[in-house]
Amino acid sequence: MGAYPAAIYDVKAALQFVRATAAEFDIDPDRIALMGDSAGGYLAAMLALAGDRFTDRYRDDPNAGSPVKVKAVVGIYGIYDMAAQWTQDMRVSPGDSITQDFLGGSPTQNPQIYRQSSPVNYVKPDRQEVRFLLIHGERDNLVDPLVQSGAFNTALVQAGFASRLIIIPGAAHFWVSDAFEKDSRSFGAIAALQLLQFLEGSL
């Protein structure tokens, strides 16, 4: 993933391409959801809540005029408060912060970029049409479930969003891509049915 904000611009360009060429792929441009895990959950939330604020790059892209609009977001052990994640990084691995690498400095060095890059700071009532499903592992020590998904869900609900938080008992980080078809007790299997129900109801 490129340094902030390049990754957001790249995902925005991909979404604009999908919307602009939806008819070619038999896609309904008004029924688009974003889903991502970890940094992907972060990018999905940023694009849904603040994508139209990022306008400095790709201005000559033929799809640059396409709206940045989605109906739903699924964030799986995502990061929504960058300053809080930096603190967690320091707790888990002092002196080695992916968050700091992504943003180019510590919160002390550049507090403004930590505010600007945090999805939780873009939770405003004017985006209430976006529905959220947040899924997190109970034992995730890389991205704290309560500090990140828990606090983000609370902010969304308080702002009037339709948002739901699912905590998976016993799950840590990096489980969403594990095969689960043959194990009904796996973390993925626990989340899959609720995820599908959310998408069916939101799209």
Q: Can you give the CATH number for the domain in which 177 is found?
A: 3.40.50.1820
Q: How far is residue 88 from each of residues 85, 101, 103, 141, 161, measured CA to CA in Å?
A: 5, 14, 15, 8, 27
- Find the domain containing 19 and state its range: 6-202
Question: CB atoms < 10 A from the CB of 34, how many?
Answer: 22
Tokens 């699924």 belong to residue? 74
CB 159 within 8 A of CB 122: no
Report yes or no on 121 lying in a domain.
yes
- Tokens found for residue 157: 């609900």
- Residue 40: per-residue pLDDT: 97
CA distances from 140 to 22, 95, 133 (A): 37, 20, 18
Tell me which residues of the chain have a pLDDT lower than 50.
1
DSSP state of 148: I
pLDDT at position 182 is: 76
Before 169, cis peptide (omega within 30)?
Answer: no
Does 1 fall in a domain?
no
Residue 165's SS3 state is strand
Is residue 34 included in any domain, yes or no? Answer: yes
Classify residue 125: in a domain, yes or no: yes
CA gap 161, 51 in Å, rounded: 17
134: three-class secondary structure by DSSP: strand
Residues 6+ apart with CB under 8 A from 162: 128, 131, 132, 202
Q: What is the pLDDT of residue 95?
A: 85
- Number of structural domains the chain divides into: 1
Residues contacting 203, CB < 8 A, separation 6+ = 31, 33, 71, 72
Model pLDDT for residues 131-168, shown as the tens digit of each residue: 999 999 999 999 999 999 999 999 999 999 999 999 99
Q: For residue 49, is it within any domain?
A: yes
